[in-house]
Amino acid sequence: MDVQTWTYLLVGITFSIYIGIAIWSRAGSTNDFYVAGGGVSPLANGMATAADWMSAASFISMAGIISFAGYDGSVYLMGWTGGYVLLALLLAPYLRKFGKFTVPDFIGDRYYSKTARIVAVICALIVSFTYVAGQMRGVGVVFSRFLEVDINTGVIIGMVIVLFYAVLGGMKGITYTQVAQYCVLIFAFMVPAIFISIQMTGNPIPQLGMGSRLNDGSGIYLLDKLNGLSTELGFAEYTDGKKSTIDVFMITLALMVGTAGLPHVIVRFFTVKRVRDARKSAGLALLLIAILYTTAPAVSVFARTNMINTVSNKEYTAMPEWFKNWETTGLLAFDDKNGDGKIQYVADPSKNELTVDRDIMVLANPEIANLPAWVIALVAAGGLAAALSTAAGLLLVISASVSHDLIKKVFVPSISEKGELWAARGAATVAVVIAGYFGINPPGFVAAVVALAFGLAAASFFPAIVLGIFYKKMNKEGAIAGMVVGISLMLFYMLKFKFGIFDGGKEAVPGLEKDWWFGISPEGFGSVAMLVNFILSIAIMKFTPPPPENVQEIVEDIRIPSGAGEATGH
C-alpha cells in the first residue's frame, strides 16, 4: 500500500477509537465535564497529562526548531521539561488540595473578588487561544501533506473531530481519549527515530545514536558530520550557540514558569481523587514526557543531516517523491535563482534557493530516510494525536472559564447544573470556531506561537498562583494589578517585536532584534513581565488592606500536608 492509503487507514482507526471513547465516556454532569468526576487513576491521569502537555509544538515543531537552531534550540528542552518539574513539585499538590475546577476559580476564591476572577478568565482566554492557534496549524500541516487536502480544509476536519469528543465527553471524554492519544503519539515518534538511528549509526537507541559514529565506514561521529555539513553551507556549527546568555536564560525561565501557569495542564490535577494521586500522576507524566523529550534532539540531528545530504547541490529534477509532495503544500519551496537546475541550500539569503518550513522536519523525516510507507503514515497519525489532544484540553479550559467562572460565578449564579453544562458545550463550540480561524490564519510556526503562550502564562498567572499559595497576606488589589500589568506588558512586547504592529504594521519585521529591550526576544520577555508582576503585586499589597482572616486560614490549611495531624497526634 502507498503512503496515502496507509495514512487513511491509520488515521481512520485512531479517529474511530477517539470518537468511540468519547461516546462511551460522555459527561453526564458538570463534575464529569470539568474534572472527569474526580475519579481518574494516577496512571491514566499521568498518560492524559503527558498527551495534554505534548502538543503539536512538542511532536511536530520542537525537533524542527532544534534542526535549524542547533544548540540554541536546547532552550525549549530545558524550559519545557524544567517547567513541568516546577509545576509538579511547587504547585500541583496545593492546587489540588484547594479543590477548584479551574485556575480562574482558584484566583477568584483565593483573592475573594469577582474582579480577580474576571481578570483571570480574560488571561486564561488569551493564553489558551494563543496556544490553540499553534495546535490547529499543526493539524492543518499534517492533513495538507498526508491526506492531500489544503491546510484550511485540514483545519476544518480537525475542528469537527475535536469538537465532537470535547463537547460530548468534556474532561471525562478527553481524559480517556488522551490516554489513547499518548499511546499513538509516543509510538509514532519513537518507531521512526529507532529505525533511522539503526540506519545511520547501527545503534537502536536514538539518544545514544545521536552521539555515535556513522556506520558508513568513515569512522566520523554523526555530530561532527553535521557540523561539517553546516559550515560548508555557511551556517554556524550545529553544536555552537548564537543566542546571548541573557536571552537563553530568559527564554528558559519564561518557558518554565509559563508551564507552571498553564491552565489546561493545571486542571488535570483536579481529576484525581486525592492530593497523593496528584503527586503520583505528576511523576508518571514526567517519566512519560521524558521519553519524547530526550529523543527529540536525536530526531533533529537525523532529520537535518539527511535533508542536507539529500537536497544540497543536487539536481532538482532528480529529487525524490517526498520533495515534490511537500512542495505542493507550499511548506517547501525551490527558487532557481541562478538557473542551473541545482538546489543551492546555503546560509546566504541572496544565494539560498530552498525555503523549508521548520514544522515539516519531523513529519518529512521518515520520507527523507526512505522508511516504509506504514511508518510515514504512523507519524501523521501521531502528529494529529498530539495536536488534537492539546487542542481538546485548551478548549475545555476556554469553555469552563466561560460557563463556570463567568456565567455561574459572576453573571447567573442561579443557573441549573443542566444549564451550566449546556453553556459549557456552547462555549466549547464557539471556541472551536475561533481556534479554527487562528489555524487558518496562523501568526507563525507552531512552536513560536506556543512559546508566546507560555510567556503570557508566565506574565499573568504564575505570580498570582505562587503568591496565592505561599503568601497568606497577598491581597486582591495586588494580584489584580499584577495580572493586568503583566499580561498587558507581554502583549505589547509581543505585538511590537514579533509582529511589528507598532512599526508600520508589517508582520515579523526583519531587523527588530536590534531594538529588543535588554537584548531579550519576545519568547523570553515573559520572564521580565513576570518579575514586574511580582514586584507590582507585592508593592501594592503593602499599601492596601490585608485579606480577610478566613482567606488567610484557607492558605495556611492548603500548605499543611494531608495526614499531618495524625502524625503529630493533634
Cα distance between residue 197 and residue 190, in whole Å: 10
In-domain check, residue 507: yes
Q: 524 with 505: CB under 8 angstroms? A: no
In-domain check, residue 174: yes
Encoded amino acid at 166, one letter:
A
Cα distance between residue 529 and residue 164, in whole Å: 37
Instruction: Quickly tell me which residue has 521519553 as its cell.
Output: 291
Cα distance between residue 129 and residue 105, in whole Å: 19
Kindly report the CA angle at 321 between 320 and 327, in degrees rounded to 5?
105
Q: What is the predicted pLDDT for the residue at 278?
A: 78
Cα distance between residue 175 and residue 389, in whole Å: 9
Cell of 165: 469528543
> Partners of 221 in the beta sheet?
213
In-domain check, residue 535: yes
In-domain check, residue 570: no
b or e along 471-483 (b: 16 or more beta carbons within 10 Å of the residue's beta carbon)?
ebebbbbbbbbbb
Q: 195 with 203: CB under 8 angstroms? A: no
Q: 109 with 116: CB under 8 angstroms? A: no
In-domain check, residue 569: no
> Partners of 356 in the beta sheet?
332
Number of domains comprising the chain: 1
Q: 144 with 150: CB under 8 angstroms? A: yes
Q: What is the predicted pLDDT for the residue at 564?
A: 46
Cα distance between residue 72 and residue 489, in whole Å: 25
Handedness of CA 469, 57, 526, 34 (dihedral sign): negative
Query: How confident is the prediction along the chain (570 residues), in pLDDT tens digits per residue?
Result: 888 888 889 988 988 888 788 777 666 666 666 555 556 788 888 898 888 778 777 888 888 888 888 888 888 888 887 887 787 777 777 877 777 667 888 899 999 999 999 999 999 888 888 887 777 777 777 777 777 777 788 888 878 877 776 666 666 667 788 888 899 999 999 999 999 999 999 999 999 999 999 988 888 999 999 999 999 988 888 888 788 889 999 999 998 888 877 777 777 777 777 778 877 888 888 899 889 989 999 999 999 999 999 888 889 888 888 888 888 878 888 998 888 889 999 888 888 999 888 888 888 899 889 899 899 889 988 888 887 777 777 787 788 788 878 888 888 888 888 888 888 888 888 888 888 887 777 655 555 677 788 899 999 999 999 999 999 999 999 999 999 999 999 999 988 887 767 655 444 445 556 788 888 988 899 999 999 999 999 999 999 999 999 999 988 888 775 544 444 444
Name which of 414, 194, 178 is nearest 295 in CA terms: 194
Range of the domain at 58: 3-564
Helix count and strand count (H, E) for the chain:
24, 2
Q: What CATH number is attached to the domain comprising 276? A: 1.20.1730.10
Cα distance between residue 423 and residue 430, in whole Å: 11
In terms of DSSP H, where are the helices of 218-372? 222-232, 245-259, 263-266, 275-311, 321-327, 361-368
3-state helix, strand, coil in the chain (%, to 5): 75, 0, 25
Q: Do β-strands 332-334 and 354-356 pair in parallel, antiparallel, or remain unpaired?
A: antiparallel
Cα distance between residue 290 and residue 284, in whole Å: 10
Three-class secondary structure of residue 356 per DSSP: strand
Q: What is the predicted pLDDT for the residue at 503?
A: 59
DSSP single-letter state for residue 354: E
What residues have CB less than 8 Å from 388, skipping those under 6 apart?
18, 135, 139, 158, 161, 162, 181
